[in-house]
Structure 1
Protein backbone atom coordinates (compact mmCIF):
# COMPACT_ATOMS: atom_id res chain seq x y z
CA UNK A 1 0.00 0.00 0.00
CA UNK A 2 1.20 3.48 -0.87
CA UNK A 3 0.43 6.21 1.69
CA UNK A 4 1.87 8.98 -0.48
CA UNK A 5 -1.54 10.05 -1.81
CA UNK A 6 -2.78 10.93 1.65
CA UNK A 7 0.47 12.70 2.51
CA UNK A 8 0.85 14.64 -0.73
CA UNK A 9 -1.86 17.20 0.06
CA UNK A 10 0.27 18.81 2.75
CA UNK A 11 1.98 21.53 0.76
CA UNK A 12 3.44 24.60 2.51
CA UNK A 13 0.30 26.52 1.53
CA UNK A 14 -2.06 23.90 2.97
CA UNK A 15 0.00 23.70 6.15
CA UNK A 16 -0.26 27.47 6.57
CA UNK A 17 -4.06 27.11 6.69
CA UNK A 18 -4.26 23.78 8.51
CA UNK A 19 -4.50 24.98 12.10
CA UNK A 20 -7.38 27.33 11.34
CA UNK A 21 -9.24 24.90 9.07
CA UNK A 22 -8.76 21.69 11.06
CA UNK A 23 -7.97 22.63 14.64
CA UNK A 24 -10.12 25.75 14.59
CA UNK A 25 -13.15 24.57 12.57
CA UNK A 26 -13.33 20.89 11.58
CA UNK A 27 -12.43 19.36 14.93
CA UNK A 28 -15.27 21.11 16.72
CA UNK A 29 -17.93 21.58 14.05
CA UNK A 30 -17.42 18.48 11.87
CA UNK A 31 -15.69 15.78 13.89
CA UNK A 32 -17.11 16.77 17.27
CA UNK A 33 -13.83 16.62 19.17
CA UNK A 34 -12.35 20.00 20.14
CA UNK A 35 -8.61 20.39 19.68
CA UNK A 36 -8.25 21.07 23.41
CA UNK A 37 -9.15 17.44 24.11
CA UNK A 38 -6.36 16.24 21.84
CA UNK A 39 -3.86 18.57 23.49
CA UNK A 40 -5.00 17.11 26.83
CA UNK A 41 -4.28 13.64 25.44
CA UNK A 42 -0.70 14.74 24.81
CA UNK A 43 -0.43 16.38 28.24
CA UNK A 44 -1.40 13.08 29.85
CA UNK A 45 0.89 10.83 27.83
CA UNK A 46 4.01 12.53 26.45
CA UNK A 47 7.29 11.58 28.06
CA UNK A 48 10.91 12.66 28.27
CA UNK A 49 11.62 10.50 25.21
CA UNK A 50 8.86 10.85 22.64
CA UNK A 51 8.31 9.92 19.00
CA UNK A 52 5.50 11.51 16.99
CA UNK A 53 4.30 9.92 13.74
CA UNK A 54 2.27 11.88 11.21
CA UNK A 55 3.33 15.21 12.63
CA UNK A 56 1.03 17.66 10.85
CA UNK A 57 1.88 21.21 11.85
CA UNK A 58 3.37 20.23 15.19
CA UNK A 59 0.57 21.95 17.09
CA UNK A 60 0.14 19.24 19.72
CA UNK A 61 3.84 19.08 20.54
CA UNK A 62 4.00 22.86 20.62
CA UNK A 63 1.07 23.27 23.02
CA UNK A 64 1.40 20.24 25.29
CA UNK A 65 3.29 20.13 28.58
CA UNK A 66 6.26 17.76 28.64
CA UNK A 67 7.33 16.31 31.99
CA UNK A 68 10.88 17.64 31.50
CA UNK A 69 12.15 20.96 30.10
CA UNK A 70 14.32 19.36 27.41
CA UNK A 71 12.60 16.23 26.04
CA UNK A 72 14.17 14.09 23.32
CA UNK A 73 11.72 14.19 20.40
CA UNK A 74 11.73 12.30 17.11
CA UNK A 75 9.43 13.37 14.28
CA UNK A 76 8.43 10.78 11.68
CA UNK A 77 6.49 11.53 8.50
CA UNK A 78 6.48 10.66 4.81
CA UNK A 79 6.11 14.30 3.79
CA UNK A 80 9.14 16.57 3.96
CA UNK A 81 6.92 19.66 4.12
CA UNK A 82 5.28 18.58 7.36
CA UNK A 83 8.61 17.57 8.84
CA UNK A 84 10.08 20.99 8.10
CA UNK A 85 6.98 22.83 9.34
CA UNK A 86 6.67 20.88 12.59
CA UNK A 87 10.40 20.78 13.36
CA UNK A 88 10.64 24.54 12.90
CA UNK A 89 7.63 25.07 15.15
CA UNK A 90 9.19 23.10 18.02
CA UNK A 91 12.81 23.98 17.23
CA UNK A 92 13.28 24.92 20.91
CA UNK A 93 13.29 21.17 21.59
CA UNK A 94 15.81 20.39 18.80
CA UNK A 95 13.80 17.43 17.43
CA UNK A 96 15.33 14.73 15.27
CA UNK A 97 13.59 14.29 11.93
CA UNK A 98 12.99 11.04 10.06
CA UNK A 99 11.32 10.69 6.65
CA UNK A 100 9.72 7.24 6.59
CA UNK A 101 6.80 5.18 5.32
CA UNK A 102 5.34 3.79 8.53
CA UNK A 103 3.62 0.96 6.64
CA UNK A 104 7.10 -0.48 6.19
CA UNK A 105 9.72 -1.24 8.86
CA UNK A 106 11.83 1.79 9.73
CA UNK A 107 14.50 2.59 12.29
CA UNK A 108 14.71 5.99 14.01
CA UNK A 109 17.72 4.78 15.98
CA UNK A 110 18.57 5.26 19.62
CA UNK A 111 16.95 3.90 22.75
CA UNK A 112 13.29 2.82 22.91
CA UNK A 113 10.73 5.58 23.31
CA UNK A 114 8.63 6.05 26.41
CA UNK A 115 5.75 7.50 24.39
CA UNK A 116 4.72 7.33 20.73
CA UNK A 117 1.99 9.60 19.41
CA UNK A 118 0.03 9.14 16.21
CA UNK A 119 -2.81 11.62 16.13
CA UNK A 120 -4.81 11.89 12.91
CA UNK A 121 -2.52 9.40 11.18
CA UNK A 122 -4.60 6.23 10.80
CA UNK A 123 -7.52 7.74 8.88
CA UNK A 124 -5.04 9.08 6.31
CA UNK A 125 -3.42 5.70 5.63
CA UNK A 126 -4.73 3.55 2.75
CA UNK A 127 -6.71 0.37 3.32
CA UNK A 128 -8.81 -0.82 6.24
CA UNK A 129 -7.80 -0.96 9.88
CA UNK A 130 -6.69 -4.57 9.58
CA UNK A 131 -4.10 -3.62 6.96
CA UNK A 132 -3.22 -0.35 8.70
CA UNK A 133 -2.42 -2.26 11.89
CA UNK A 134 0.99 -3.07 10.42
CA UNK A 135 1.93 0.34 11.82
CA UNK A 136 1.54 -1.02 15.35
CA UNK A 137 3.69 -4.02 14.49
CA UNK A 138 6.37 -1.75 13.04
CA UNK A 139 6.56 0.57 16.04
CA UNK A 140 6.26 -2.07 18.73
CA UNK A 141 10.05 -2.72 18.94
CA UNK A 142 10.62 1.04 19.37
CA UNK A 143 8.44 1.28 22.50
CA UNK A 144 9.85 0.67 25.96
CA UNK A 145 8.20 -2.04 28.04
CA UNK A 146 6.48 0.58 30.18
CA UNK A 147 5.81 2.98 27.32
CA UNK A 148 2.53 4.13 25.80
CA UNK A 149 1.25 4.49 22.25
CA UNK A 150 -1.51 7.06 21.98
CA UNK A 151 -3.39 9.04 19.40
CA UNK A 152 -6.69 9.77 17.74
CA UNK A 153 -8.34 8.87 14.46
CA UNK A 154 -11.55 9.89 12.71
CA UNK A 155 -13.96 6.97 12.32
CA UNK A 156 -16.26 6.31 9.40
CA UNK A 157 -18.67 3.78 10.92
CA UNK A 158 -20.73 3.67 14.10
CA UNK A 159 -20.47 7.39 14.80
CA UNK A 160 -22.90 10.27 14.22
CA UNK A 161 -22.21 12.52 11.23
CA UNK A 162 -23.59 15.98 10.70
CA UNK A 163 -23.88 17.54 7.24
CA UNK A 164 -20.46 19.16 7.35
CA UNK A 165 -18.81 15.92 8.44
CA UNK A 166 -20.58 13.90 5.75
CA UNK A 167 -19.53 16.38 3.06
CA UNK A 168 -15.91 16.47 4.20
CA UNK A 169 -15.74 12.68 4.52
CA UNK A 170 -17.05 12.24 0.98
CA UNK A 171 -14.57 14.70 -0.51
CA UNK A 172 -11.55 13.53 1.47
CA UNK A 173 -12.17 9.84 0.77
CA UNK A 174 -12.77 10.48 -2.91
CA UNK A 175 -9.50 12.38 -3.20
CA UNK A 176 -7.53 9.86 -1.17
CA UNK A 177 -6.79 12.26 1.67
CA UNK A 178 -8.74 9.95 4.00
CA UNK A 179 -9.30 6.21 3.77
CA UNK A 180 -11.65 5.61 6.68
CA UNK A 181 -15.15 4.77 5.43
CA UNK A 182 -15.00 1.34 7.08
CA UNK A 183 -13.03 2.33 10.19
CA UNK A 184 -14.93 1.66 13.41
CA UNK A 185 -14.19 1.57 17.13
CA UNK A 186 -14.49 -2.23 17.12
CA UNK A 187 -11.97 -2.65 14.31
CA UNK A 188 -9.59 -0.18 15.92
CA UNK A 189 -9.75 -2.12 19.17
CA UNK A 190 -9.05 -5.39 17.35
CA UNK A 191 -6.05 -3.84 15.60
CA UNK A 192 -4.60 -2.47 18.84
CA UNK A 193 -5.26 -5.58 20.92
CA UNK A 194 -3.37 -7.68 18.40
CA UNK A 195 -0.20 -5.86 19.46
CA UNK A 196 -0.84 -4.54 22.99
CA UNK A 197 -2.20 -6.09 26.19
CA UNK A 198 -3.81 -2.95 27.59
CA UNK A 199 -5.97 -0.83 25.29
CA UNK A 200 -8.29 2.05 26.13
CA UNK A 201 -10.51 3.84 23.59
CA UNK A 202 -12.85 6.76 24.11
CA UNK A 203 -15.02 8.04 21.27
CA UNK A 204 -15.70 11.76 21.18
CA UNK A 205 -17.98 12.72 18.30
CA UNK A 206 -16.44 10.95 15.30
CA UNK A 207 -12.99 10.71 16.86
CA UNK A 208 -11.58 7.64 18.60
CA UNK A 209 -9.02 8.65 21.22
CA UNK A 210 -6.82 5.71 22.21
CA UNK A 211 -3.96 4.61 24.41
CA UNK A 212 -2.16 1.27 24.24
CA UNK A 213 0.34 -0.18 26.71
CA UNK A 214 2.25 -3.40 27.37
CA UNK A 215 3.42 -4.39 23.89
CA UNK A 216 2.95 -8.07 23.17
CA UNK A 217 6.16 -10.01 22.66
Structure 2
Protein backbone atom coordinates (compact mmCIF):
# COMPACT_ATOMS: atom_id res chain seq x y z
CA UNK A 1 0.00 0.00 0.00
CA UNK A 2 1.38 3.41 -1.02
CA UNK A 3 1.00 6.20 1.53
CA UNK A 4 1.62 9.80 0.61
CA UNK A 5 2.02 13.37 1.78
CA UNK A 6 1.81 16.47 -0.38
CA UNK A 7 2.66 20.12 0.02
CA UNK A 8 3.54 21.08 -3.55
CA UNK A 9 1.59 23.49 -5.68
CA UNK A 10 1.90 24.03 -9.41
CA UNK A 11 5.50 23.79 -10.57
CA UNK A 12 7.06 24.94 -13.87
CA UNK A 13 8.79 21.59 -14.28
CA UNK A 14 5.42 19.87 -14.47
CA UNK A 15 5.31 21.06 -18.10
CA UNK A 16 8.29 18.77 -18.80
CA UNK A 17 7.48 15.78 -16.58
CA UNK A 18 4.30 14.72 -18.32
CA UNK A 19 3.00 11.18 -18.59
CA UNK A 20 3.91 11.10 -22.29
CA UNK A 21 7.51 12.19 -21.65
CA UNK A 22 7.99 9.93 -18.64
CA UNK A 23 7.03 6.86 -20.68
CA UNK A 24 10.16 7.56 -22.77
CA UNK A 25 12.40 8.47 -19.85
CA UNK A 26 14.01 5.08 -19.25
CA UNK A 27 15.24 4.75 -22.82
CA UNK A 28 16.10 8.38 -23.57
CA UNK A 29 17.67 9.29 -20.22
CA UNK A 30 18.74 6.12 -18.41
CA UNK A 31 19.90 4.17 -21.45
CA UNK A 32 20.93 6.65 -24.17
CA UNK A 33 21.86 9.92 -22.48
CA UNK A 34 23.83 8.48 -19.57
CA UNK A 35 26.09 6.44 -21.85
CA UNK A 36 26.28 8.40 -25.11
CA UNK A 37 25.99 12.00 -23.90
CA UNK A 38 27.05 12.13 -20.25
CA UNK A 39 29.62 9.32 -20.44
CA UNK A 40 28.33 7.58 -17.31
CA UNK A 41 26.51 4.37 -18.28
CA UNK A 42 23.45 3.14 -16.45
CA UNK A 43 25.01 -0.07 -15.01
CA UNK A 44 27.55 2.07 -13.15
CA UNK A 45 24.73 4.10 -11.57
CA UNK A 46 22.85 0.92 -10.61
CA UNK A 47 25.97 -0.47 -8.92
CA UNK A 48 26.33 2.86 -7.11
CA UNK A 49 22.85 2.32 -5.65
CA UNK A 50 23.59 -1.25 -4.64
CA UNK A 51 26.72 -0.15 -2.81
CA UNK A 52 25.02 2.64 -0.85
CA UNK A 53 21.45 1.56 -0.15
CA UNK A 54 20.48 1.08 3.49
CA UNK A 55 17.34 -0.23 5.22
CA UNK A 56 15.52 3.10 5.76
CA UNK A 57 15.92 4.92 2.47
CA UNK A 58 14.70 8.12 0.82
CA UNK A 59 15.00 8.77 -2.91
CA UNK A 60 14.53 12.34 -4.15
CA UNK A 61 13.98 13.49 -7.72
CA UNK A 62 12.81 9.99 -8.50
CA UNK A 63 12.55 9.91 -12.32
CA UNK A 64 10.81 6.62 -13.05
CA UNK A 65 12.53 4.72 -10.25
CA UNK A 66 14.43 2.53 -12.70
CA UNK A 67 17.81 2.65 -10.95
CA UNK A 68 16.29 1.81 -7.59
CA UNK A 69 14.07 -0.85 -9.14
CA UNK A 70 17.01 -2.63 -10.76
CA UNK A 71 19.20 -2.26 -7.68
CA UNK A 72 16.50 -3.74 -5.45
CA UNK A 73 16.50 -3.89 -1.67
CA UNK A 74 19.68 -3.32 0.36
CA UNK A 75 22.25 -6.10 0.31
CA UNK A 76 21.15 -9.10 2.34
CA UNK A 77 17.51 -7.97 2.59
CA UNK A 78 14.31 -8.76 0.70
CA UNK A 79 12.67 -5.44 1.53
CA UNK A 80 13.29 -2.02 3.00
CA UNK A 81 12.41 -1.27 6.58
CA UNK A 82 11.00 1.94 5.12
CA UNK A 83 11.17 3.43 1.63
CA UNK A 84 10.32 7.09 1.00
CA UNK A 85 10.04 8.80 -2.39
CA UNK A 86 10.13 12.59 -2.72
CA UNK A 87 9.53 14.65 -5.85
CA UNK A 88 7.85 17.97 -6.59
CA UNK A 89 6.15 16.57 -9.69
CA UNK A 90 3.14 14.29 -9.44
CA UNK A 91 3.63 12.17 -12.59
CA UNK A 92 7.13 10.77 -11.88
CA UNK A 93 6.22 10.32 -8.24
CA UNK A 94 3.14 8.24 -9.07
CA UNK A 95 4.97 6.27 -11.76
CA UNK A 96 7.85 5.42 -9.43
CA UNK A 97 5.53 4.50 -6.56
CA UNK A 98 3.69 2.08 -8.84
CA UNK A 99 6.93 0.59 -10.12
CA UNK A 100 8.22 0.04 -6.58
CA UNK A 101 4.90 -0.96 -5.04
CA UNK A 102 6.43 -4.25 -3.85
CA UNK A 103 8.29 -2.14 -1.26
CA UNK A 104 5.17 -0.21 -0.10
CA UNK A 105 6.77 3.21 -0.59
CA UNK A 106 5.64 6.37 1.17
CA UNK A 107 5.45 9.29 -1.28
CA UNK A 108 5.99 12.99 -0.59
CA UNK A 109 5.11 15.55 -3.26
CA UNK A 110 7.46 18.22 -1.95
CA UNK A 111 10.11 20.58 -3.34
CA UNK A 112 13.59 19.12 -2.75
CA UNK A 113 14.74 22.60 -1.69
CA UNK A 114 11.91 23.02 0.81
CA UNK A 115 11.29 21.42 4.20
CA UNK A 116 10.82 17.66 4.01
CA UNK A 117 8.03 16.01 6.05
CA UNK A 118 10.41 13.53 7.65
CA UNK A 119 11.64 13.28 11.22
CA UNK A 120 15.17 14.16 12.28
CA UNK A 121 17.65 11.24 12.25
CA UNK A 122 15.03 8.91 10.80
CA UNK A 123 16.83 7.57 7.70
CA UNK A 124 19.89 5.46 7.05
CA UNK A 125 20.41 6.32 3.36
CA UNK A 126 19.37 8.97 0.88
CA UNK A 127 19.81 8.91 -2.90
CA UNK A 128 19.65 11.85 -5.32
CA UNK A 129 20.43 10.52 -8.78
CA UNK A 130 20.73 12.77 -11.84
CA UNK A 131 18.51 15.51 -10.40
CA UNK A 132 20.60 18.26 -8.80
CA UNK A 133 21.43 19.75 -12.20
CA UNK A 134 17.71 20.47 -12.65
CA UNK A 135 17.23 22.41 -9.40
CA UNK A 136 16.92 26.22 -9.51
CA UNK A 137 20.03 27.96 -8.21
CA UNK A 138 18.96 31.62 -7.79
CA UNK A 139 21.97 32.55 -9.92
CA UNK A 140 24.37 31.18 -7.28
CA UNK A 141 25.37 27.83 -8.74
CA UNK A 142 25.48 24.94 -6.30
CA UNK A 143 25.36 27.34 -3.36
CA UNK A 144 21.76 28.07 -4.33
CA UNK A 145 20.79 24.39 -4.18
CA UNK A 146 22.21 23.36 -0.83
CA UNK A 147 18.87 23.43 0.97
CA UNK A 148 18.74 19.83 -0.24
CA UNK A 149 21.95 19.02 1.62
CA UNK A 150 20.72 20.80 4.75
CA UNK A 151 17.59 18.67 4.78
CA UNK A 152 19.59 15.52 4.09
CA UNK A 153 21.86 16.27 7.05
CA UNK A 154 18.79 16.69 9.25
CA UNK A 155 16.92 13.51 8.32
CA UNK A 156 19.88 11.12 8.19
CA UNK A 157 20.93 9.44 11.42
CA UNK A 158 24.62 9.77 12.40
CA UNK A 159 26.61 7.62 10.00
CA UNK A 160 23.75 7.54 7.49
CA UNK A 161 24.77 7.58 3.86
CA UNK A 162 24.04 10.37 1.37
CA UNK A 163 24.82 9.53 -2.25
CA UNK A 164 23.98 10.97 -5.61
CA UNK A 165 25.01 12.02 -9.08
CA UNK A 166 24.74 15.21 -11.08
CA UNK A 167 25.94 16.62 -14.39
CA UNK A 168 28.71 19.18 -13.82
CA UNK A 169 30.14 21.65 -16.31
CA UNK A 170 33.79 21.70 -15.23
CA UNK A 171 34.50 18.09 -16.18
CA UNK A 172 36.95 17.78 -19.09
CA UNK A 173 34.49 15.42 -20.80
CA UNK A 174 31.79 18.13 -20.75
CA UNK A 175 34.13 20.57 -22.48
CA UNK A 176 35.58 18.29 -25.15
CA UNK A 177 32.63 16.00 -26.04
CA UNK A 178 30.39 17.99 -28.42
CA UNK A 179 27.09 16.19 -27.65
CA UNK A 180 27.51 16.89 -23.92
CA UNK A 181 28.54 20.49 -24.44
CA UNK A 182 25.69 21.21 -26.85
CA UNK A 183 23.00 19.47 -24.80
CA UNK A 184 24.04 21.18 -21.54
CA UNK A 185 23.86 24.54 -23.30
CA UNK A 186 20.49 23.80 -24.90
CA UNK A 187 18.96 22.45 -21.69
CA UNK A 188 20.10 25.48 -19.72
CA UNK A 189 18.62 27.86 -22.29
CA UNK A 190 15.28 26.06 -22.11
CA UNK A 191 15.30 25.80 -18.32
CA UNK A 192 15.40 21.99 -18.17
CA UNK A 193 18.84 22.20 -16.52
CA UNK A 194 20.22 24.90 -14.22
CA UNK A 195 23.82 23.80 -13.96
CA UNK A 196 25.91 26.25 -15.98
CA UNK A 197 27.73 27.22 -12.75
CA UNK A 198 27.84 23.76 -11.13
CA UNK A 199 31.38 22.52 -10.54
CA UNK A 200 32.91 19.50 -8.87
CA UNK A 201 34.95 21.76 -6.59
CA UNK A 202 31.83 23.52 -5.28
CA UNK A 203 30.02 20.20 -4.86
CA UNK A 204 32.80 18.84 -2.69
CA UNK A 205 32.99 22.05 -0.64
CA UNK A 206 29.26 22.12 0.09
CA UNK A 207 29.26 18.45 1.08
CA UNK A 208 32.30 18.82 3.35
CA UNK A 209 30.60 21.70 5.13
CA UNK A 210 27.82 19.35 6.26
CA UNK A 211 29.05 15.74 6.12
CA UNK A 212 32.08 13.58 6.82
CA UNK A 213 33.90 10.97 4.73
CA UNK A 214 33.06 12.86 1.54
CA UNK A 215 34.05 11.09 -1.67
CA UNK A 216 33.49 12.61 -5.11
CA UNK A 217 34.47 11.02 -8.41
CA UNK A 218 33.72 12.05 -11.96
CA UNK A 219 32.73 9.70 -14.76
CA UNK A 220 32.25 11.48 -18.07
CA UNK A 221 30.59 14.72 -17.02
CA UNK A 222 28.71 13.18 -14.07
CA UNK A 223 29.96 13.78 -10.54
CA UNK A 224 29.09 10.90 -8.23
CA UNK A 225 29.30 11.53 -4.50
CA UNK A 226 29.08 9.61 -1.24
CA UNK A 227 29.11 11.16 2.23
CA UNK A 228 28.18 10.21 5.78
CA UNK A 229 26.05 12.17 8.24
CA UNK A 230 27.80 13.59 11.31
Query: Which bracket does the TM-score occupy, shorter chain normalised?
Result: over 0.9
Q: Displacement of 1:111 after TM fit?
A: 6.3
What is the alpha-carbon distance in structure 1 between the residues aligned to residue 225 and residue 123 of structure 2? 18
In angstroms, what is the RMSD of aligned CA positions?
Answer: 1.8
Q: Is the 8 A contact 2:216 2:223 kept in 1?
A: yes
Alignment pair present for 1:69 and 2:78? yes
SS at structure 2 position matched to 1:57: coil
Q: Is the 8 A contact 2:40 2:220 kept in 1?
A: yes
Which of 144, 147, 158 matches 2:171?
158
Q: Give the paired residue count.
A: 214
What is the alpha-carbon distance in structure 1 between the residues aligned to residue 15 and residue 52 of structure 2? 29
Q: Is the 8 A contact 1:33 1:204 kept in 2?
A: yes
Alignment pair present for 1:38 and 2:9? no
What is the alpha-carbon distance in structure 2 between the residues aligned to residue 159 and residue 129 of structure 1? 19
Alignment pair present for 1:94 and 2:104? yes
What is the alpha-carbon distance in structure 1 between the residues aligned to residue 11 and residue 131 of structure 2? 12
Q: Which runs of 4+ in 1 moved over 6 A?
A: none
SS at structure 1 position matched to 2:173: coil
- Tell me the alpha carbon deviations over residues 88-138 of structure 1, each in whole angstroms, 9 at most, x when there is no partner: 111111100001112122213586110000011210001110111121112
Q: Displacement of 1:165 after TM fit?
A: 1.2
How does the TM-score come out when normalised to structure 2? Answer: 0.88
For structure 1, the 5+ residue unaligned runs are none
- Which residue of the partner structure matches residue 4 of structure 2? none
Alignment pair present for 1:18 and 2:25? yes
Alignment of 1:144-183 (within 5 A): 144-161=157-174, 162-183=177-198
Q: Is the 8 A contact 1:102 1:135 kept in 2?
A: yes
For structure 2, the 5+ residue unaligned runs are 1-8
What is the alpha-carbon distance in structure 1 between the residues aligned to residue 153 and residue 43 of structure 2? 28
Q: Is the 8 A contact 1:5 1:177 kept in 2?
A: no
- Which residue of the partner structure matches residue 65 of structure 2? 58
| Larger mean Cα displacement after TM superposition, 70-79 or 106-115 | 106-115
Q: Is the 8 A contact 2:184 2:193 kept in 1?
A: yes
Structure 1 residues 9, 188: CA separation in 2 closer, same or farther (over 3 Å shift)? same
Structure 1 residues 172, 153: CA separation in 2 closer, same or farther (over 3 Å shift)? same
SS at structure 2 position matched to 1:37: helix
- Tell me the alpha carbon deviations over residues 116-168 of structure 1, each in whole angstroms, 9 at most, x when there is no partner: 00011210001110111121112211101121000100001233232211221
How does the TM-score come out when normalised to structure 1? Answer: 0.93
Q: Is the 8 A contact 2:171 2:220 kept in 1?
A: no
